[in-house]
Amino acid sequence: MRHFLRNCLEFIKSLGDVHLKENQRVAVTKKMLREGLIRLLRAKELDKIHINELCREAGINRATFYRHYKTPRDVLQELESELIRQLIPLTKTPGDIREAQKMLEATCTYIYDHADVAKILFRCNSDESLMLGLNEFYRQFLKIWKKERPSTPMDEAATRIVIAGVGGGAYCLLRQWILEDIPKTPSEISSILCSVLRWPLPAELLEQDNK
């Protein structure tokens, strides 16, 4: 009986090892395809990249590619999703304005550290999630501001318009910073972004906050 149980445990462990190795192989395959796509996108447009070309660049055969993706755009979208997934912890709901400013700098730092990927996403217009994330961040920013300054004269309709306008402006600022390699540090860019985020608020409230 003990021999039987030991064999069962060894078999279960072997299944776990096989599953782990398979996951590792999938991770390596996807990493090679993402890196291959990044290299190709430095020289040509996404729509001009064919599956055969991507497979050659990544050192992956077509059958393996089709096990995970249908088109090169799927690889790019997964790349975007991974970037956003890494950014989410940096943009959790802030507790106050100062924390929001720190989170904004952390976000700028992350984008700067991954500028090669961010540049490709910006250039391919595959970054809608980033714009939506900035809009949500600004929504939280305004919510905190209203909580700290209950007299803020801004109704719901005005708030929605401001979120769309300012969030889009912040996105364009980040996009230009990365695409044009503007020589500004993440700290400097986050300070500029903070100014952009605060711009639509009434001047008297800004004066109160600066005191």
Domain coordinates of the chain in residue numbers?
2-70, 79-210
Residues of the chain with pLDDT under 50: 4-5, 7-9, 11-19, 202-211
Sign of the dihedral defined by the CA atoms of residues 144, 147, 149, 152, in that order:
positive
State residue 13's pLDDT score.
Answer: 46
d(CA 172, CA 179): 10
pLDDT per residue over 104-129, tens digit each? 888 899 889 988 888 888 887 655 66
Which structure tokens are listed for 70?
């249908």
State residue 200's pLDDT score.
Answer: 52
Report helix, strand and coil shares of the chain as percent, to nearest 5. 80, 0, 20
The whole-model pTM stands at 0.67
How far from the centroid of its chain's Cα atoms is residue 74's Cα?
Answer: 16
Please name which of 76, 74, 64, 144 lies closest in space to residue 104, comparing C-alpha atoms. 144
Please name which of 169, 157, 156, 154 lies closest in space to residue 201, comparing C-alpha atoms. 154
State residue 95's pLDDT score.
Answer: 65
Q: Which CATH class is domain 79-210?
A: mainly alpha
